[in-house]
Structure 1
Amino acid sequence: MSSKKRAAEDDGVPSKAVDRGQATARQGAVQEEMGEFEDRWEDEIEDEVVDGDAMEDEGDEFTHAPEDEDAPEPRKQTYLPGVVMGPNEQLVADNSVYPCLHALSYAWPCLSFDILKDELGTDRTGFPQTAWLVAGTQAGDVPGHGRAKDEVVVMRLSGLSRTQHDDDSDAEAEDDDVDEDAKLDFLTFPHVGAVNRIRAAPTSATIPDPYHVASFSETGKVHIWDVRPLIDTLSGPSKPRQKTPVHTITAHGRNEGYALEWGRSGLLTGDVDAKIFLTTLTPTGFTTSQAYTSHTSSVEDLQWSPAEPTVFASASADRTVRVWDVRTKSRKCAVSVRAHDDDVNVISWNRNVDYLLVSGGDEGGVKVWDLRMFKSKPKPVAHFTWHTAPITSVEWHPSDPSVFAASGADDQVTLWDLSVEGDDEQAGAAPLGPDGNALDVPPQLLFVHQGQKDVKELHWHPQVPGMVVTTAADGFNVFKTISV
């Protein structure tokens, strides 16, 4: 995917840290914008009182409305993108499908981020929650002030509370974990050039010092930072921190890139000139290898194998997914498969089933691959065409081997479960599309989340089951759904 595709449109500077706390969707149902919903067909009511007795005295007929007759409630149905709405229908948010939903914004769009492992424990299910992120800005131009300075930002999102529903009991509504505004605290490093992609190094049970993060700049340089001092400062008393990277990779020259991935064997970086480099940490410092060359167009994404530390996969604008082994002296790929009919933008390797890989293409398709079939029958085991614009991010659930999430330039974030089978009764009750025919809703589609504009990246929180964090041109969303 080119830089033009990923660049954000800057309509000004939003507020620093605002939690709108509004629901943006129901399960399989979404609202198109954050905010309150109003009835645009509501009639204006004037303050005029009519006295029935007075009308009777004047000889006019006056009939009182029946008191026992209840007005029927309007029929509710699920909304999906593409559903045709009637002239008197409106979207109403259903908060009950979100155990947790928050929206926060930063001063500049952060179109790439990663979740930092913290020391607050694993499998956290209570509320409120705290999440640590590292993000990179794409500030762009400020009218009348020239180019704004970009940053690497370490964020602490605290007070991520349970969403209050209309049907919550009074006792539940008084709980401390309900309907609180989330808070965004942050510290920054200055960064030369917009941040195309940012990734945090994997950590062991004890978070190491330093805590390395890599950022790929639009200038073509890859910087490695130690963000541990920022984490410590946000967690407690202020500590001295260095504002320069601990190492800079210059092997890409002036070729920018978007592919960046840490693994046990080192840091992989891929650029628009179709080259891939491996940088490793040695006793004498960081060392970058010679280029891995097989792709014929921009390298868009990279993923290490969860089972074999020397094997990785790459996605490219040449429409292929390739598998490599860093032990190969030729630096050529071992396997190549034409995965999509357009650019392959993103891939994700299943951490629980190491032969499954999901890919997302510029045509909007999402495909699931069995890597064991790459050499003999390279056909996807699943192919979903729900999204109507380029796929911008995909990621497998950290613990459920059949669930993954995807985001697209159609402003949708979708959750999928490969283990779900079709139901004939549900198929017959499918909502109607613009052409009057039933929408082809895949049974594996669990949830559709909307409300953000230009969604660029998503990640599952590895320590808070079911929590998804997304970033877009208008800020971050943090949510959990009842479907996962």
Structure 2
Amino acid sequence: MSKRAADATEEQVSALKAGGRPFVDTPPDEMGDFEDEFEDEYESEDEIIEAGVDGRPDAEREAEEQRDAMDVDKQTFIPGRTKLAPGETLTPDPSTYEMLHTLSTPWPCLSFDIVKDNLGDNRKTYPAAVYAVAGTQADIERPKENELMVIKLSGLSRMERENESDSDGDSDDEAAEPILESKSIPLTSTTNRIRSHQTPSPSGDYSKPPQTLTATMLENSQILIHDVTPHLATFDNPGTILAPSASKPLSTLRMHKSEGYALDWSPLQPLGKLLTGDNDGLIYVTTRTEGGGWVTDNRPFTAHSSSIEELQWSPNERNVFASASSDGTVKVWDVRSKSRKPAVDVKISNTDVNVMTWSHQTFHLLATGADDGKWAVWDLRHWKPDANNASAQLKPKAVASFDFHKEPITSIEWHPSDDSVVAVASADNTLTLWDLAVELDDEEGRDASLADVPPQLLFVHYMESVKELHWQAQMAGTIMATGSGGFGVFKTISV
């Protein structure tokens, strides 16, 4: 049998924001195959229910079976608290999703990034399309099978609703079959982290489409910079043949002597400015020149005592960045500093600070996720050095802190247009959505079984070994994530 979440009606969504029970959902067990490295179609198979010996219509039997399944166990599944009995599995509740698609790849991807496209912003129509780049983690004995994947997902349809008729919306478009297209750039090592950046053409011709660059941080400690613009163009121009040189990196950076996982492009440097951090605690800044070359400052930032886990450029100050480390600290730096010391040094955890996200809506807010499963929101305005001891390590109080997850936080990201919503991924195989604007009325009663579930928790999506998530900023509320089983793209009705 399966343990299912309660159906989510509009009334229940409202109740949830008022402190009600969260929706808990999982992707289907069967995932789309990725058989051809260049292009493949995938679709989920509809369950076929035949009429039984009683001769009742299929729809009637199916409805009764669903009611029986709900009657078997109405317990809410809570990650880290609820234990599945032998034979029980988690299944998705389609009524809580507006869109849900999954796909598998030849090898798992530890990291990916969504690429901004020219299809327009604030898209709400279906079928939808998503462009992305990803790096694989091939078997240790088959490193030459690693690749940088340039991906286009199209034909992403909205979930079908039983009460919708053919006259509701454009049913033909919404029923389109999902299509996966991919272009491959060979790599010789596992990708630890990959990020994309769009910049005007080096020639300065702003009438041309933006150039899309990727920085790929490999397990062998090298950082490869590629121009994937031609690969993206092939998706919209069928028959285009890529030149052999298209897969060659523009530059290979070799300043790191150990592998790393921290990588970020500056959003305020159009040509391209890159932060990279390694397991030795060293942070380097690499800048693209007007001539198209790449220059790395050979003076690393070195104040961390352990590995650099995350780097984030400030969204509004071009010379400022933050670093998170397994030494439990977050430091804020100014690249113009001659001392190479952090402007602010904050101890925020007794465990590794794995991930970090800087709000692009409210610039003084920073969210972090740690190895003990806790994640928190910080107000940088409170991170002011002691006037009498500028080098003192600060220990400020978080604006908000949550210990709902019981396993390490593996990814965290602010909603691109709503500074109260945060998406969090954890090693407990869940991706959770949170609304920090929700407050629980002191007089409001709560189900005793949900006493340790924060009212700010909006949604729980199950995904095996989820590693990284990103919002698709051009499609409000849409999230793409990667895990050991492949990729998932979904949009809930609660965000």
TM-score by length of 2: 0.79
Q: Percent identity?
A: 46
- Gapped regions of structure 2 (runs ≥ 5): 9-21, 31-50, 56-66, 201-205, 386-394
1:261 equivalent in structure 2:
264
For residue 356 of structure 1, report the CA deviation from its aligned partner. Answer: 0.2
2:242 equivalent in structure 1:
240
Alignment of 1:78-227 (within 5 A): 78-81=76-79, 82-83=81-82, 93-141=92-140, 146-169=142-165, 171-172=167-168, 175-203=171-199, 208-227=209-228
- For 2:136 and 2:84, locate their aligned partners in 1 and report how far apart those are by CA, in whole Å: 38
Q: Report the CA distance shift for 1:296/1:207 in structure 2 as closer, same or farther (over 3 A).
A: farther
| 1:381 maps to 2:393 | no
1:342 equivalent in structure 2:
351
For residue 209 of structure 1, report the CA deviation from its aligned partner. Answer: 4.7
1:399 equivalent in structure 2:
417
- For 1:446 and 1:193, locate their aligned partners in 2 and report how far apart those are by CA, in whole Å: 38
For residue 310 of structure 1, report the CA deviation from its aligned partner. Answer: 0.5
The worse-fitting range, judged by mean Cα deviation, of 277-286 and 351-360 is 277-286
2:290 equivalent in structure 1:
283
| 1:319 maps to 2:328 | yes
Q: Report the CA distance shift for 1:200/1:48 in structure 2 as closer, same or farther (over 3 A).
A: closer
Q: Report the CA distance shift for 1:193/1:93 in structure 2 as closer, same or farther (over 3 A).
A: closer
SS at match of 1:176: helix
- For 2:346 and 2:207, locate their aligned partners in 1 and report how far apart those are by CA, in whole Å: 39
Q: Report the CA distance shift for 1:226/1:174 in structure 2 as closer, same or farther (over 3 A).
A: closer
- For 1:120 and 1:48, locate their aligned partners in 2 and report how far apart those are by CA, in whole Å: 52
Q: Is the 8 Å Cα contact of residues 423 and 443 (structure 1) preserved in structure 2?
A: no
SS at match of 2:172: coil
2:64 equivalent in structure 1:
none
- For 1:238 and 1:182, locate their aligned partners in 2 and report how far apart those are by CA, in whole Å: 22
1:11 equivalent in structure 2:
none
Correspondent of 2:484 among 455, 473, 477 = 473
- For 2:174 and 2:326, locate their aligned partners in 1 and report how far apart those are by CA, in whole Å: 45
For residue 48 of structure 1, report the CA deviation from its aligned partner. Answer: 9.9
- For 2:54 and 2:480, locate their aligned partners in 1 and report how far apart those are by CA, in whole Å: 51
- For 1:48 and 1:354, locate their aligned partners in 2 and report how far apart those are by CA, in whole Å: 64
| 1:445 maps to 2:457 | yes
Q: Is the 8 Å Cα contact of residues 5 and 24 (structure 2) preserved in structure 1?
A: yes
2:46 equivalent in structure 1:
none
Q: Report the CA distance shift for 1:466/1:349 in structure 2 as closer, same or farther (over 3 A).
A: same
For residue 183 of structure 1, report the CA deviation from its aligned partner. Answer: 1.3
For residue 26 of structure 1, report the CA deviation from its aligned partner. Answer: 6.3
Offset from partner CA, 1:138-160 (integer Å, 9 cap, x none): 01146xxx445210000000011
For residue 85 of structure 1, report the CA deviation from its aligned partner. Answer: 7.2
AA of the residue aligned to 1:251? M
For residue 299 of structure 1, report the CA deviation from its aligned partner. Answer: 0.3
| 1:415 maps to 2:416 | no
- For 1:428 and 1:100, locate their aligned partners in 2 and report how far apart those are by CA, in whole Å: 30
Offset from partner CA, 1:290-324 (integer Å, 9 cap, x none): 21111110000000111101000000011000000
- For 2:342 and 2:284, locate their aligned partners in 1 and report how far apart those are by CA, in whole Å: 13
1:6 equivalent in structure 2:
none
Q: Report the CA distance shift for 1:152/1:429 in structure 2 as closer, same or farther (over 3 A).
A: same
Q: Report the CA distance shift for 1:91/1:244 in structure 2 as closer, same or farther (over 3 A).
A: closer
Q: Is the 8 Å Cα contact of residues 25 and 95 (structure 1) preserved in structure 2?
A: no
- For 1:186 and 1:134, locate their aligned partners in 2 and report how far apart those are by CA, in whole Å: 9
- For 1:91 and 1:473, locate their aligned partners in 2 and report how far apart those are by CA, in whole Å: 17
Q: Is the 8 Å Cα contact of residues 458 and 470 (structure 1) preserved in structure 2?
A: yes
Q: Report the CA distance shift for 1:296/1:184 in structure 2 as closer, same or farther (over 3 A).
A: same
SS at match of 1:211: strand
2:28 equivalent in structure 1:
34
Offset from partner CA, 1:461-484 (integer Å, 9 cap, x none): 011110000000111110111111
- For 2:277 and 2:87, locate their aligned partners in 1 and report how far apart those are by CA, in whole Å: 51
The worse-fitting range, judged by mean Cα deviation, of 220-229 and 208-217 is 208-217
2:361 equivalent in structure 1:
352
- Gapped regions of structure 1 (runs ≥ 5): 1-22, 37-44, 50-70, 433-437
1:331 equivalent in structure 2:
340
Larger Rg, first or second structure (1 or 2): 1
Q: Report the CA distance shift for 1:90/1:394 in structure 2 as closer, same or farther (over 3 A).
A: closer
For residue 173 of structure 1, report the CA deviation from its aligned partner. Answer: 9.4
For residue 339 of structure 1, report the CA deviation from its aligned partner. Answer: 1.2
Q: Is the 8 Å Cα contact of residues 403 and 415 (structure 1) preserved in structure 2?
A: yes
TM-score by length of 1: 0.81
AA of the residue aligned to 1:296? S
Q: Report the CA distance shift for 1:139/1:24 in structure 2 as closer, same or farther (over 3 A).
A: farther
